[in-house]
Amino acid sequence: MKNLNKILVPFVFIVLIFSCSKDDGPATTPPQENKAPEISEQSFNVSEDILDSAIIGTIAATDPEEDELTFSITTNSNDLFEITNEGVLSLATGKNLDFETDESHVITVEVSDGELTATASIIVVVIDKDENTTPVIEAQSFTVAEDITDDAEIGTVEATDETTLTYNITTNSNDLFEITDDGILSLAPGQSLDFETAENHTILVEVSDGQLTATAEITIIVLNINEAPVIEAQSFSVAEDITDDTEIGTVMATYETAITFSIATNSNDLFEITNDGVLSLAPGKSLDFETAQTHTITVEVSDGELTSTAEITINVTDIADTNPDAFITVWQTTTASESITIPTNPDYTYSYNVDWGDGTTSENQTGNANHIYDVAGVYTVSITGNFPAIYFNGEGDREKIESIQQWGIIEWKSMERAFYGCSNLTYTATDRPDLSEVTNMEYMFFQATSFNGDLNNWDVSSVKSMGSMFRNATSFNGNISNWDVSSVVKMYRMFHYATSFNQDLSNWNVSSATNMISMFDNASSFNSDISNWNVSSVINTKHMFNDASSFNSDIGNWDVSSVTDMSSMFRNASSFNQDLSSWNTGLVTDMQSMFTGATSFNSDISNWDLSLVTNLGHMFADASSFNGNISNWNVSSVSYTYGMFRNATSFNVDISSWDVSSVTNMYRMFYGATSFNQDLSNWDISLVSDMENMFDDSNLSIENYDATLKGWSELSTAPNDIELGVANLAYCDDGEAARTVLEAKGWTFAGDSKSADCP
């Protein structure tokens, strides 16, 4: 068997060799011929609002050999379409369809199996979709007469759209107009037009289709219509002794063109009127209170075409023989049966008589005297007897008294609060009051806003207090230059808010004055020369020139050695910039806000003695010009420096040697001091509890900020839990190390950052 195997194996091998010979012919079927893909015309229906990210459809094609196919567009339609290799058809990026432009698009798509291609037309049918377009409205104008009524149509605002529109006004003109949903424009109920007030009005009208809106300006042009002059009932009060060449008054009317006045109905032919409306007695005529206390006439006013009339009433006031001894004032009532009350001071004893000016008198009055006038008008009231003080005190009939005509021989005891609040009071007296026993004039003309009398002949030599005398007397600018004020001790608020006052006070002897608090506070016109005043007795000048924006008198020679309080003395005195270098401030304890807002001030005050000062808060806040050398100031007693140099944008003095060991509050001390850049490392801040916003927006360099922090961090008694305001400051390594030490004591730093330029 073994030998048989040896014979068979070679035989099989030989057979295999011969069976694989070339001569045996092909062993497989011959390859088939490649055929082109097949694609037919196709169509897709799409809405015109299809997005470029949406699929229109997938193109269908086949291949006989089932080879992988790729698709491409060979003929596009305005480059609207694109197709993927797989045949997915869509809009090209950024493209869109519009039914109104093209209802269909035909493109040619080619399909390839890699060797052979085929093409077909692909039709994209666009389906129309209802489109909501914005309504169209344009600027329009309407012309109307000024006398149009609120029930008349001004016009219809026009707009176009395919759907129903509604209208409304989004921006009106003083609520003059309204519009219906249909666009009909008219005046709003109760409104009217006036050519003289406005010749045209512009409003904004919005039109809406329920979804989209549009707006346009609508202009209403107002036509001028001649209107009758307007005249209303008026009254005048005159004394019965008026002469025929004296004007009673001018009748007032409103009109658009020239007008003339005439009397349509007279009273016994007593009166006449000029074409301009000036009313007077007719020549040779006179009035008599006992005959008739009132006269009523009808005045007609005409513009040449149209006329109007009104009743004019002339009230006659009784004139008694003037009593040279009487205190005479003039009062006005505005309604029938109106009363007036003469106010008295309860601190004094009275026994006086009153002539009320209407034919009646009251005798032996011991307190307030009251009287009722049957007819409204102007009345002259005369007082005689013991009448030591008049005392309105901001109450009662203070607005009814109109003038002081005569002082008479009344022996006045007090003028305190005499005419306080008498806002209509004027002054025609030529004599002078007997003030020999008067020591108090406090608040005498306080809030007497119309008062502006010439009081220069008054003898005020006994007066000791003039506090608030002309306070808020905003019209007062009377001559008082010759007053002897040598006895006056209190001058506080004397001209506070006397905004018109600017008289010569250069000769005043103020040597007895101790209190000048707010004396010229808000006296915005005052700039009198008061350089020679002897203020050596003055203790308090707080707010003295506060908001006295015109004041810039040379007061450098003043002896202020007795003053203890100068707080806000020149606050907002924006013109002031005098040399105060010689002032002796040794007794001053408070300089808070002294030069706050004094934007012109930059005087040398380097030698001032501040040894007793405890408060410097806001002293130079907003004093944008100040950069005086105050490096040697002794501030060892100061407790408060909050806001001291806030927004003092010019200040950059070396104050590193200041002894601030007593200071407890440095809040906003250098806030906004955009020039300040000093090293304060030597400051002893042991007692400080508030440093918020202290250096915010100042100009501390990295070097000085680092040094300051380093010095403070090495202070063994440095305070705990401080928030240091350092907005927009930068530090480097030394500052960072110091911050770490201080942070361990509870410090926080608001607004700084480490510089990117540190070495």
Strands 200-208 and 166-171: antiparallel
Q: How many CB atoms lie within 10 A of CB 264?
A: 12
Neighbour tally for 517: CB within 10 Å: 24
pLDDT tens, position by position, 269-282: 999 999 999 999 99
- Predicted confidence at residue 239, as pLDDT, reads 86
pLDDT of 22 > 50? The answer is no
> Tokens representing 453?
């009398």
* pLDDT at 39 exceeding the cut of 80: yes
Quote the CA–CA distance of 639 and 592 in Å, as a whole number. Answer: 11
Residue 16: pLDDT band with limits 50, 70, 90: very low
Secondary-structure percent of the chain, ordered helix, strand, coil, rounded to 5: 5, 30, 65
pLDDT at 25: 47
Beta bridge partners of 295: 314
H-helix or E-strand containing 588?
Answer: none
Residue pLDDT, tens place only, 201-240? 999 999 998 889 999 999 999 998 877 889 999 999 898 8
Q: Which two tokens stand for residue 731?
A: 């530090």
Give me the mean pLDDT over the 415-440 stretch.
97
Sorting pLDDT into bands at 50, 70 and 90, what band is 320?
low
Q: How far is CA 95 from the centre of its chain?
A: 53
Cα dihedral 430/434/436/439 (nearest 10): -90
Residue 190: the pLDDT is 95
Q: Looking at residues 623-649, what average pLDDT do you find?
A: 98
pLDDT of residue 286: 94
State yes or no: pLDDT of 360 exceeds 50: yes
Q: Backbone phi, then psi, for 277, in 5-degree steps?
A: 95, 10
Q: Is 746 helix (H, G, I), strand (E, B) or coil?
A: coil
CA 638/CA 619 separation, integer angstroms: 12
Residues 6 or more apart whose CB falls under 8 angstroms from that of 695 comprise: 669, 670, 671, 705, 724, 725, 726, 727, 729
Q: What is the DSSP letter of 24?
A: G
Angle between helices 733-743 and 702-713 in degrees, nearest 10? 30
Is residue 304 within 8 Å of 275, Cβ to Cβ? no
Q: Do the Cβ atoms of 691 and 724 come closer than 8 Å?
A: yes
Q: How far is CA 44 from CA 57, 79, 99, 121, 122, in A?
A: 7, 17, 14, 11, 8
- Supply φ then ψ for residue 707, to 5 degrees: -65, -40
Q: What is the pLDDT of residue 10?
A: 41
**CB contact at 8 A, 556 and 532:** no
**Residue 162 binned pLDDT confidence (cut-offs 50, 70, 90):** confident
**Is residue 577 classed as helix, strand or coil in its secondary structure?**
coil
- Residue 369 φ/ψ region, left for φ over 0, alpha for ψ in the -120 to 50 degree band, beta for the rest: beta
Give the span between the Cα atoms of 22 and 708, in whole angstroms: 105
Beta-strand ranges (E) seen in 128-173 are 140-145, 153-156, 166-171
| CA separation for the pair 618, 665 (Å, rounded) | 12
Rounded Cα distance between 309 and 676, Å, is 74
What is the pLDDT, as a whole number, of residue 30?
61
Q: At residue 1, does pLDDT exceed 60?
A: no
**Residue-by-residue DSSP string for 365-408:** E-S-EEEEESS-EEEEEEEEEE---B--TT-TTTTTEEEEEE-T
Q: Per residue in 278-301, pLDDT tens?
A: 999 999 999 998 899 899 999 999
Give the residue from 619, 614, 679, 676 showing the smallest Cα distance to 643. 619
The whole-number pLDDT of residue 13 equals 40
Compute the residue count for the chain.
759
Do 410 and 434 touch, CB atoms closer than 8 A? yes
Q: Report phi then psi at 129, rounded to 5.
A: -125, 130
- For tokens 């009287």, the residue is 371
* Greatest distance between any 2 Cα atoms in the chain: 184
Segment 504-518 mean pLDDT: 98
Q: N- to C-terminal Cα distance for the chain?
A: 102
Q: How far apart are CA 257 and CA 740, in angstroms?
A: 83
Please state, rounded to an integer, the average pLDDT across all residues of the chain: 93
* Residues in a beta bridge with 722: none
Answer yes or no: is pLDDT of 161 > 70. yes
The span from the CA of 462 to the CA of 440, in Å, is 9
**Tokens coding 635:** 């501030």
Euclidean distance between CA atoms 574 and 188, whole angstroms: 50
What is the tens place of the pLDDT at every residue in 84-132? 999 999 999 999 998 889 999 999 999 999 999 999 999 999 998 766 7
CA 10 to chain CA centroid, nearest Å: 121
Res. 23: pLDDT tops 50: no
Using DSSP, state whether 144 is helix, strand or coil: strand
